[in-house]
Amino acid sequence: MGFGKDMKGRASHEAMLRVQDSEIRLLDTIHHFVVARAENDKKYATGLSRMLAATFKSDNSEFKECCSVFKAWDVIVKETDNLTRTLRSNSEHLTNNTAEVLSQLIAEKKAARKKYLEERERLDSDFAKVQDEMVRNKMDYAKTVARVAQDKAKFLELQSKGKIGPKVDEAKTKFFQTAVRLHKLHNDYVTSVHQAKEHQTMLRDTALPAMLDCHQDGQEALVHKTKYVLEDYLRHTDSCAEDFQSVTRNIGDAVQSIHPGSEYSMTFIDVHKSSMAPAAEFSFEEKLLDDYKGSLKPGVLEMNDLTYEALQAKLAKVKEEMEELNTRITRTSSDQQKASLEVNNLSAVVEESPTLDNINNYLEKTRESESYTQDLLEMEGHMNRLEKLATLLKQPLDDLGSDPVPLASDLKDIMSGTDGSESSSVSGLPPISPTSGTSQQRDHHFMKSLSKMNPFKKALKSSGSQSGGLNSSASGTFDDDNHSSISNENGTQLDEEGGGLVAVRSKTSRSSYEKSELHPTTSNGPGSRMSMMKMREQGQLVDMDSNEAKSRIADEGWFHGVLPREEVQRLLSNDGDYLVRESKSKKTNESQFVLSVFWNGHRHFIIQFSMERGWHFEGAAYPTIQELVRRQFDSGLPVTMKSGAILKRPILREWELLNDDIELKMKIGTGNFGEVYKGVYKKSMEVAVKTCKDTLTEDQKLKFLQEGRILKQYKHPNIVRYIGIAAQKQPVMIVMEFIPKGALLSFLKLSGPSQTIRQLTKMCVDAASGMEYLEGRNCIHRDLAARNCLVGENNVIKISDFGMSREEQEYHVSTGMKQIPVKWTAPEALNYGQ
């Protein structure tokens, strides 16, 4: 029982992601708990010290030696003093050691999850590429088979009429070109079907199980470290009082019940195990050759003068890949054996002495070993696939041996001179020997012989220059004429409204916190400090701090990136609502972080940073913004005494996406506020992405974001679906579903004449249905043009471009009618501007 055997299915994949997310959340909870416990123990020890100080003032030494009550009391005081020192020592250990190890463990857990997801997606992506290649070859093959039949029929028809002249020659030439292409595509299709089948086998039987088993080993190694942390917590919180003995026993039993080797092998796998979907069937589609008359056979490689050299070249390339892969396998196998031996030795050491150093060494070597094992199994799977492909390619070459390469039989009949004008035929050429001369010499010989037949001169020239593939591309377009956005906040506006504190941070006060005295660097020598101060004077460390702090808080739900001040204030409505965002100072153009709070109105506090202290407001400073905000929230104290603002409820991102999850692929349009791209969200979902130029004015940027704010409220089959806004960094982006057929205007220009009255009417109904939905929600679109309606699957119309929309029952134009789309506006709206 293990990941590689029982967890290959999609349901198991989702369950593994969920359990890792839950484990990370659990470790975060444990970390908060340990820190709180240490602080409370320290407070308890401080209280005991105060009581002992008062007790020591009472001198009972006179009767201590003769009275048992006084002697007992003396023992109680001394033991209480010992207890106080123990409590202090344990609390310091929990803060400085246990909590720090927990932080490392959380980071390692996140890295392991990320690595697993990347590996899984890589394997799925590689398989998808093989499948896509097979589908492309199949489509090209089907088109070419049909074209061969058409060209052949046309030629034979002209020939049967006894015609002689350019038309017959042209038909013969065209047929010859198509037949040559068919033979080449035939082998490509056969090979791609074979590769898809073998790649799937390799993925299911080797690569995916290897990756899953290696991931399980890594997770179990992290469980070792988790167990150590909990044991360490137990050792430093154990109490001998009777009231706490049952608690201690329960904690001890719970910790000792952890068995890293079987952490996932029991209940978790039993509940979530699943099998992969049934293996897909990859086979040559024989019906493609139903109308074909010739030598090509379904699923069998064709060996003739048209395919011989291509087969040789492909076999040579496969052999070269096998040699290179075999060298890598040998080297990796040796490394894996060494690493596996070290893991076995360290495993025994960990069982006997589970210290932090031993566990860290074991964890490091386990990762190294699992990486070698996964690489080795995956390479062996690829080697097996290449060996089978080489066998497939080698068979027809071996069968030929030293015999001359045969001519394509289905071309002999056509080129046998039946038109009466050219009696010399291809069949009259001397056969090509697989060993006679170089490939260039054989090509020259063949071309020279064929060139004697005039109808084929043109065919030979054109076929030699043609590319072997059929390429086509299509994309929808978006007209983004009326779309608005919002930009970064400017630092001069970041003061407390209502007479609050104006927070200003000087440029020289910022430096890399990692290089401060709180976190000394590993660099040595008298020049280290001076170099760092010089960098700070030159302003080189300012951006380093901003980027580092931003990367640390990017995953926090209450961090809203570069979302502008006006948009932020829409999210904060109740006293105590708060979030953190990134802004820029108008004066220095530096990035800075701002805490926005609603407290008797909207208030904005620049989070201060200094090299000597760290991140802070008026009170204590902390090494990270997360810890500063968390402590401010937990303490219940005002951010500043003057404002009295208290943090009560974090406002989390709902529709905000991470910019790094969005990959821009291809530009498909241009609007008033930026470019429109076709992109991919989280490596799988095709999306349309509207970007906002950073050079726009604040009003224009606010208008850009207004579309996303309006669109996220609506869910209707005839309204383009809103996915979210990405404002973690520049450029700010609005992400929507990708509509493949583009704008209705372009669609009607190209395909309108071929649409029936019923189909065109259905498009009108779709647009009307979407507008009825908007009207019911008090949305005035104001720009319903054909260019702003998109054509989706089955020609369903979806309304888009809400850049001019208004959220109200009635709107009066007050700035003139210049931007009103006259052709698409109702007459009464034009007459009255209403």
Length of the chain measured in residues: 834
* CA atoms of 507 and 403, how far apart (whole Å): 82
Question: Of 676, 672, 669, which is closest to residue 733 (Cα–Cα)?
Answer: 676
Residue type, 677: Y
674 carries a ligand binding annotation: yes
524 carries a ligand binding annotation: no
What number of other Cβ atoms are within 10 A of residue 68's Cβ? 9
752 carries a ligand binding annotation: no
803 carries a ligand binding annotation: no
196 neighbors 131 (Cβ within 8 angstroms): yes
420 carries a ligand binding annotation: no
Residue 588, CB-side half-sphere exposure with 13 Å CA sphere:
15
Pairing of strands 489-490, 577-584: parallel
**Three-class SS of residue 603?**
strand
* CA atoms of 134 and 193, how far apart (whole Å): 6
Residue type, 254: A
668 carries a ligand binding annotation: yes
Q: Which residues of 3-26 are buried (b: 16+ CB within 10 A; e: fewer)?
A: bbebbbeeebbebbeeebeebbee
Burial of 518 (0-12, 13-18, 19+ CB in 10 A): middle
Strands (E), 719-796: 722-726, 733-737, 779-780, 789-791
DSSP annotation of 485: -
Phi then psi for 724, rounded to 5 degrees? Answer: 165, 180
What's the start-to-end Cα distance of the chain, in Å? 71
261 carries a ligand binding annotation: no
Q: CB neighbours of 599 closer than 8 A, spacing ≥ 6? A: 575, 576, 643, 644, 645, 646
Cis before residue 731, ω within 30 degrees of 0? yes
Q: CB neighbours of 368 closer than 8 A, spacing ≥ 6? A: 339
Q: CB neighbours of 503 closer than 8 A, spacing ≥ 6? A: 494, 495, 605, 606, 608
* CA atoms of 321 and 195, how far apart (whole Å): 15
Give the Cα-Cα-Cα angle 830, 833, 834 (nearest 5 degrees): 110
137 carries a ligand binding annotation: no
Scan for tokens 């109200």, then name that residue.
808
Q: In the beta sheet, which residues pair with residue 608?
A: 616
Which residue numbers are catalytic? 783
* CA atoms of 743 and 724, how far apart (whole Å): 21
233 neighbors 98 (Cβ within 8 angstroms): yes
Q: Would you state the structure tokens that stand for residue 407, as one six-digit string?
A: 């001519």
Question: Of 91, 62, 47, 55, which is closest to residue 76 (Cα–Cα)?
Answer: 55
Question: Of 66, 409, 464, which is closest to residue 456 (Cα–Cα)?
Answer: 464
* CA atoms of 645 and 650, how far apart (whole Å): 13
DSSP annotation of 94: I
Q: CB neighbours of 100 closer than 8 A, spacing ≥ 6? A: none
What number of other Cβ atoms are within 10 A of residue 364's Cβ? 14
Give the Cα-Cα-Cα angle 206, 209, 213 (nearest 5 degrees): 130
Give the Cα-Cα-Cα angle 394, 396, 401 (nearest 5 degrees): 90
* CA atoms of 834 and 811, how far apart (whole Å): 6
* CA atoms of 157 and 142, how far apart (whole Å): 23
19 carries a ligand binding annotation: no
4 carries a ligand binding annotation: no
Q: Binding site: residue ranges?
A: 668-676, 690
Residue numbers in the known binding site for ATP are 668-676, 690
